[in-house]
């Protein structure tokens, strides 16, 4: 099932667009972006589906496969376990890619506050776009011969994922 074809993604009468700070068009683009990522569970209600952190770990792994060990993340229903999973993501994964999710956003995602996961996913989507743009620019510089002093790929930029790129 795709997110873009379901009204059950809107967990509030106000709608996820209003609560996430995104307009309807941005929200649909975000849902399409998530739909294009292979995930282990079907997406039924994005607010609940991402609350345990497992699907977020899978999203990050899709773009940065070397920094996420999915065995560290298991599906859960308890708020305490969800908090633990998000804390693990913060400490082991997000820190390595300089991606910051506020504690308030983590609490909101864990507690299934409508619009919270969309905010976090939109921030991550922007992080990925910035990272890919930088990689493309680095590759162009290298192709033009300006690569002599180019990046080694190890955390020399503020948005570097902290891993080598081959």
> By three-state DSSP, how is residue 156 classified?
coil
pLDDT in tens, 39-70: 999 989 999 999 999 999 999 999 999 999 99
pLDDT in tens, 121-141: 999 999 999 988 988 888 888
Q: What's the Rg (C-alpha) of the chain? A: 17
Name the least confident of 58-67, 79-88, 113-122, 147-156. Answer: 147-156
Gap between the Cα atoms of 8 and 53, Å rounded: 20
CB atoms near residue 102 (< 10 Å): 11
44 contact partners, CB below 8 Å, separation of at least 6: 1, 6, 8
């Amino acid at each position: 099932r795709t997110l873009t074809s379901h009204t059950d993604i809107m967990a509030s009468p106000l709608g996820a667009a209003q609560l996430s700070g995104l307009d309807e068009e941005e929200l649909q683009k975000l849902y399409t972006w998530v739909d294009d990522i292979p995930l282990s569970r079907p997406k039924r209600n994005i607010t609940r589906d991402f609350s345990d952190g497992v699907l977020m770990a899978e999203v990050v792994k899709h773009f940065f496969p070397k920094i996420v060990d999915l065995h560290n993340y298991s599906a859960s229903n308890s708020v305490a376990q969800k908090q633990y999973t998000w804390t693990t993501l913060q400490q082991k994964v997000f820190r390595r890619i300089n991606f910051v999710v506020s504690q308030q956003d983590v609490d909101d995602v864990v507690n299934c506050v409508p619009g919270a996961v969309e905010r976090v996913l939109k921030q991550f989507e922007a992080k990925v776009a910035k990272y890919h743009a930088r990689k493309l620019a680095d590759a162009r510089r290298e192709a033009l011969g300006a690569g002599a002093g180019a990046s080694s790929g190890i955390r020399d930029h503020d948005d570097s994922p902290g891993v080598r790129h081959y």
